[in-house]
Amino acid sequence: MFPLWIAFVVAIALVALGVWVYRRYFRTASGREDRYTPERILTPEQVAMLDYLCETFPDQVVLPNMPLRNMLSIRRAIDRQRATERLRTQKVDFVVCDAEGRPVFAFDVEQYHLSDAKAKAHQLKMKNRILKTAGVRFLFLKNSIHRMPSPNDFRRQLDLAALPRPKPQDAEPQDSARQRLESKMSEYDTLAYPNTGFKESEVMGLSGLMGLGEAKADRKNDLDSPLDSRTESVRRRA
């Protein structure tokens, strides 16, 4: 005959096993026992840059870590599946929306890639082209707000860099879509400020952005100077 304490231990073990089997196979989890831990969504540097952009655009919405598929839709494409895949695989660090909630400016924080630099450069070029066809200016930000201009100066220069918004168009025959798309890209590529050294086919950096005002002034002076010289010549003859 087993001692009483052995029978007691066996009974407890059977009860525990029964509870485990019930909870494991027969009970539907209610979630009341689940516990969670918050994960970091943004790094401290991203938080600081988000605050800076919110100060730059006080009346607009600024969002971090936005996939392109949540920002853009395909207006037209030769291969819609490939165009959809490009949107799925690309994202931007920050996006600024207008009063209607549509993106106006998109930003990536400047980074230097030591590996796969060529592939990453190709991806950035593709991202820039996609955003440009939607009328969204894509720019690089410095990796520290201490290297950025004041919010007022930054906003003033961004107003000069804003792209024209694409106009809604009727559906077109499939054979002419590619030609029209390439024509529209070329039209955007002609929006250049030659004195800055910035090419519209490249992603605009901070130095190119801050030079837009000077380039505009230089172009105005170039246009005004022939008239001024002619006026001075007339005065001398008089």
**pLDDT of 13-46, one tens digit each?**
888 887 777 766 665 666 777 889 999 999 999 9
Does residue 24 sit in helix, strand or coil? helix
Domain assignment present for residue 66? The answer is: yes
- State the residue for tokens 């630099």: 117
Measured CA to CA, the distance from residue 132 to residue 202 in angstroms comes to: 11
- Number of folded domains in the chain? 1
Q: Is residue 129 packed enough to be buried (19+ CB in 10 Å), middle (13-18) or exposed (0-12)?
A: middle
CA nearest neighbour of 177 among 78, 73, 74, 72? 78
CA nearest neighbour of 46 among 94, 112, 95, 89? 94
Going by their DSSP bridges, the two strands 137-141 and 103-109 should be labelled as parallel
| The predicted structure's pLDDT at residue 21 | 72
* pLDDT (mean) for 89-96: 95
- State the residue for tokens 């918004």: 165
Domain assignment present for residue 14? The answer is: no
Domain assignment present for residue 38? The answer is: no
Query: What's the N-to-C CA distance of the chain in angstroms?
Result: 136
| The predicted structure's pLDDT at residue 181 | 53
Measured CA to CA, the distance from residue 180 to residue 188 in angstroms comes to: 12
Single pTM value for the model: 0.66
Q: Average pLDDT over the chain, rounded to whole?
A: 77
| The predicted structure's pLDDT at residue 90 | 93
| The predicted structure's pLDDT at residue 203 | 77
Q: Which domain holds residue 70?
A: 44-167+176-219
* pLDDT (mean) for 70-91: 93
Alpha helices in 38-110 (DSSP H): 44-56, 80-89
* pLDDT (mean) for 151-159: 92
Domain assignment present for residue 102? The answer is: yes
Model confidence at 186, pLDDT cuts 50, 70, 90, reads very low
Residue 150: half-sphere exposure toward Cβ, Cα within 13 Å = 3
Domain assignment present for residue 237? The answer is: no
CA nearest neighbour of 160 among 183, 188, 192? 192
Alpha helices in 59-106 (DSSP H): 80-89
Q: What percent of the chain has pLDDT over 90?
A: 43
Model confidence at 184, pLDDT cuts 50, 70, 90, reads low
Domain assignment present for residue 87? The answer is: yes
Domain assignment present for residue 2? The answer is: no
- State the residue for tokens 């799925």: 88
Domain assignment present for residue 91? The answer is: yes
Alpha helices in the chain (DSSP H): 4-21, 44-56, 80-89, 117-133, 151-161, 174-189, 206-210, 212-237
In DSSP terms, 137 is beta-bridged to 105
Model confidence at 232, pLDDT cuts 50, 70, 90, reads very low
